[in-house]
Amino acid sequence: MNKTLSLVRRCLLMAAVAAMVSPGAAGAANPEAGSKGRRPNIIILLGDDLGFSDMGAFGGEIKTPNLDALAADGVRFTQFYTHASCSPTRSMLLSGVDTHRNGLGNMSEWTAPNQMGKPGYEGNLSRSVATLPQLLKDSGYHTYMVGKWHMGKAPDLIPAARGFERDFSLLDGAGSYWDMLNFTANTPVSLYTEDGRYLTKLPKNYYATETYTDKMISFIEANRGDGKPFFAYVAHQAPHDPYHLPRGERNGYVGQYDKGWDAVRAERLQRQKEMGIMPKDATLAERMWFVPDPTLLAPAASAMLGRKMELYAGMVENMDRHIGRLVNYLKKIGEYENTIFITFGDNGAEGTDLFEMIAGTPGTKNYLYASIAWSQNHINSWGDPHSYVGYGPMWAQVSMTPFSQYKGYFAEGGIRNALIVSGPIVKRAKGSINTAGYAHVADIMPTLLEVAGARYPETINGAKAPPLIGKSWVNMLAGKEDTPRSSKDYTAWEVFGNRAVRQGDWKIRWQYKPYGTETWELFNLAQDVAEHHDLAATQPEKVKELVALWDEYAKENNVILPNRVMAEGMVRKMPERFPVEAGFPPLMTSKQFVPPADMMADPKP
């Protein structure tokens, strides 16, 4: 009898242990186990300021064969949303919680006086939220990170403290690709961590994109063969400015962009239509009113501005090549087929001159620091250490073809991103394009918890856990539904005082002048993806309905609108806003009149 009881106890104990590490630990079966019944590996490939149309698979002319191969092996989504800026997106990606609850209600660099010290505005990923890597780690995954963190620098806020078993991370929001050089006089040195320790120096022959890839491969290799799946967060710094690139990779696009931004945008949109990325009747958003008509530029100016886009394209191609190294490594060790890849950019492309913003005005410490530390700015030095170049609003609009505006704003160009998902969870036709799947970066948390069989906690540090705001993609990726959202679901955003709501095909946005009108604008995205036509005056009831959703969102998430904003003084600094129309004014665009040859004559004596 005692022997039987002992056997029963042993069986119960074994079952309990198995439950703690099995895919069914959340109380639900793993929806898509990988090969041979193993849970799949998960890799998130994040491009920093990567534009919607930059990849070849989304209409770009930049050579991205490895990213395009992931698209051909998986599915592309054209209605995927992030936040309008870096750290807010990353905070939702890793927590699944709204920014005003997870600590990034505003970026730490722009926290307003009335937001300081308030819950949800810590400027780092709050300890009151659970993180995706921690939950996956608890469910039996290895968890690795390389690249940009941008969500806290104190010992209890760095990647190792938030669930990553191994990491090699840039803690700052940007920096040199060659060394530890940072941007301002007060913060001249970028901070890095490796496996939870702050680095005193960088590895020999450091180049960010290459080193991040080397480190991730080494992390996976170190634990290969132990039977555990891994979660890898590859948060590339590229292609965020400054555009630093090895000398041998700077001339792959020479002269290709001298034709100007309008021509490149038109070419990209045409390819998007041919691919099915955009509808046949889609049009380009209006060129930003302060951006010149490229056909009016002198050849030298066209070449100089084109050079900036050449370097950007080289950065994207370089990132793609290193992503290919990681993919090929996984194929070599037999893990590619059992790996889910989720690939996207963290927000719209960067159209603001960050260097000018950081350096400030002559006579300040930052201006002096920038003049010394970032002094290698002859065009022949662009890409070298101590050089700083970004490509400006004209090329940012190209990267966000066909949308309006770019990073920092709530036009589609600030928040809509290209998304590729591939791997064993995808049951849709390979290479297919989902144009109906209205998805959001916060969806990644519930999706991957379901895939891993992990459970979101009811409490965190003794307090009730904030709610997840996303929707799982498991059924959508399996082809059982086209979108995870109903017509009643809505998404809302706010940062820097700008705000937006989308429900179904309808969207309202409120933005400070000069990028907005400081009133609610209304757009039907199914009919007007470029947001040409503000329908607020003709659809006041729809505006009222969506504003009510905004009020509900703001109340539920304790939104504190800032009393100081980035837009201060911007109207005075920029040209007055007028519509941009092709061919106007004719004075500037009319060609020399050439009379008929048979009517030409020399003057009479």
Please calculate the CA angle 198-212-161 and round it to the nearest 5 degrees.
40
What DSSP designation does 417 have?
Answer: E
Q: Rounded CA gap, 552 and 529, in Å? A: 26
Q: Which amino acid is at 165?
A: E
Query: Alpha-carbon distance 93 to 108, whole Å?
Result: 17
Give the dihedral of Cα atoms 179, 183, 189, 190; nearest 10 deg. -70
- Angle between helix axes 299-332 and 208-222 (nearest 10 degrees) is 10
Cα–Cα distances in angstroms (integers) from residue 235 to residues 150, 169, 208, 216, 569, in the given order: 10, 9, 11, 11, 34
- Write phi, then psi, for 440 (nearest 5 degrees): -140, 150
Helix axes 392-399, 261-275, angle to 10 degrees: 10
Question: What CA–CA distance (Å, rounded) separates 527 from 511?
Answer: 22
- Is 367 exposed, middle or buried (CB count within 10 Å of its CB: 0-12, 13-18, 19+)? middle
The first and second tokens of residue 304, run together, are 């100089």
C-alpha 147: how far from chain center? 13
Q: For residue 178, give the nearest of 251, 237, 253 by alpha carbon.
A: 237
Annotated catalytic residue within 83, 150, 236, 240: 150
Identify the active-site residue in 83, 86, 236, 322: 86
For 1-141, list the strands marked E by DSSP.
Answer: 41-47, 74-81
Quick check: 477 and 40 in contact, CB under 8 A? no
Alpha helices, H only, 425-511: 444-452, 474-477
Q: Please answer whether residues 53 and 401 qualify as being in contact, where contact means their C-beta atoms are separated by less than 8 angstroms.
A: yes
11 counts as catalytic: no
Range 399-422 burial, b when 16+ CB lie within 10 A, else e? bbbbbbbbbbbbbbbbbbbbbbbb
For the range 291-295, what are the long-range contacts, defined as Cβ-Cβ under 8 Å and sequence gap of 24 or more? 291/261, 291/393, 291/394, 291/397, 292/394, 293/262, 293/588, 293/589, 294/259, 294/260, 294/261, 294/262, 294/263, 294/394, 295/260, 295/262, 295/589
* Half-sphere CA count of 414, side-chain side, radius 13 A: 23
- CA dist., res. 122 & res. 527, Å (int): 39
Q: Is 236 a residue of the active site?
A: no
Integer CA distances (angstroms), 103 to 35, 423, 438, 563, in order: 38, 32, 25, 18
Just list the catalytic residues: 86, 150
